[in-house]
Amino acid sequence: MKNMKGKYLLGALFMALLGASIALFAYTKIVMKPSLTVSKDSSKVEVRDAQAYLTSLQSQEGQIDFTYAAELTVHAVVHVHTKTVIGSQADNPIMQWFYGDRYSSKPREANGYGSGVIISNDGYIITNNHVVEDAESVDVTLNDKRTFTAKVVGRDPGSDIALLKIKAENLPYIKYGDSDQLKLGEWVLAVGNPFNLTSTVTAGIVSAKGRYLGLNEGNNKIESFIQTDAALNMGNSGGALVNTKGLLVGITSAIISPNGAYSGNSFAIPVTIVKKVVDDLREFGQVQRALIGVNIQDIESEDAEKLNLSEVKGILVTRVIQDGSAEAAGMKENDVIIKFDGQPVNSVSELQEQVSKHRPGYKATVTYLRKGKENSVPIVLKNQAGNTSVVTAAMDGDMFFGARLQSLSSSDKNSMDIDYGVKVVEINDGKFKDIGMSRGYIILNVNGKKVRTPDDLRQFTNNEKSLKSIGGIQPDGTILNYQFGN
């Protein structure tokens, strides 16, 4: 009996050990394995906790790294400092008592600042027109703290672009990219000098394209802003918007904010517009702006219904300019433009952006809808004068009685406390020079009618045939009116 009992206990012990071994093996295979490995590119990585897992995901190929673009561009963005002498209104002792120097006839110096982008190693710099307009002097400070006096090569209020030049060599610069290839949601960097700080980098995504804000000046203004959520503040104007490859895709220009500081939206001028304007200013000193020769507006649902359009898309032609390119191509009022050179366009700003890439004389193809039928016609773009010649400053449409005129800038309006008028920016031989009018005179009215644009003067004088009176403000702030005989 003892032998039998010993054999029974030995067998029981063996079975217990066998069961424990099977249980341990099963637990290892079934329970522990899922927590030991994760798959990444066909290799195995041990993951001990959630933080380690996230770190391994961040190391995968394709993750965004801004350091390359930032390092490539930060040294090619400069600080722009301007000085402007402002003359205020004529002496008014009562107003001067209450408001101080604003109503003193003594001129005063105003300082401004912004950013700029070096685009060549020999010192060409892009900035905004509104940064340097009316400036008596412009200084540029590089990221290495060297300061240079800059020459304003040219300005274009219509696109809010200005070109500067400094005497320097072997400068770091940013290469042009292609803003047409930007996609919504794509990462971009804004590089500038906010609040007089040295170069600062912020990041965001492309929120929208082709935005029209109504900010630019002139009769032929062009707006097709890139909207981003990259943080911009005072001083960022004229800085660089670059993609993650460090290529220039825009010039930062504006923010929409109730208090003037960043609040979620910022806007940049596409490099497709910038490059053309800069090339023109560099070569001619004046933008060679091409025109189709039509007045246009965005299509609304009411227009689509009236014209029996299947979709609310395209740009409605509201007027065809006499002797313009569109008239020569056979286009008519109520045509709906849907493509320019094969590129779909669905808003006025999108069409303007495409046209603005070209100079007068360029042969394009315009596709439009007329009574539901699609038509494509060749069209030769012309300048404002109705031809394809090169336009110089003395030939542009703002010459009047020998003087070159410009619409008022924001600083002009603020300093003179007015909201309309045009400014004399150049005096040549002609009636205005004969009567002693000087550069800087602001014309408020002609023949008793308020003047808001240079074109108003032509209209109110019957194209310079009738001039009875001119009223306005001299550079020192005094009122000076001119009366002429019948």
Q: What is the dihedral of CA 124, 254, 228, 271, to 10 degrees?
A: -30
Residues, the chain: 486
Coil, strand or helix: which one is 33?
A: helix
- Does 130 qualify as catalytic in the annotation? yes
Instruction: Name the phi and psi angles at 189, rounded to 5.
Output: -120, 140
- Does 398 qualify as catalytic in the annotation? no
What is the spatial distance between Cα 100 and Cα 103, in angstroms, rounded to a whole number? 6
**DSSP string over 351-398:** HHHHHTTS-TT-EEEEEEEETTEEEEEEEE-B-TTSS-SPP-GGGSTT
Catalytic, out of 79, 115, 156, 160: 160
Backbone dihedral region for residue 98 (phi beyond 0: left; psi -120 to 50: alpha; all else: beta): alpha
Catalytic, out of 79, 81, 115, 130: 130
CB-side neighbour CA atoms (13 Å) of 269: 32
Catalytic, out of 159, 207, 237, 266: 237
Beta bridge partners of 380: 363
Of residues 448, 452, 472, the one with CA closest to residue 461? 448
Of residues 470, 343, 335, 338, the one with CA closest to residue 400? 470
What is the spatial distance between Cα 456 and Cα 451, in angstroms, rounded to a whole number? 6
- b/e for 97-128, b at 16 or more Cβ within 10 A? eeeeeebbeeeeeeebbbbbbbbeeebbbbbb
Please identify every residue annotated as catalytic.
Answer: 130, 160, 237
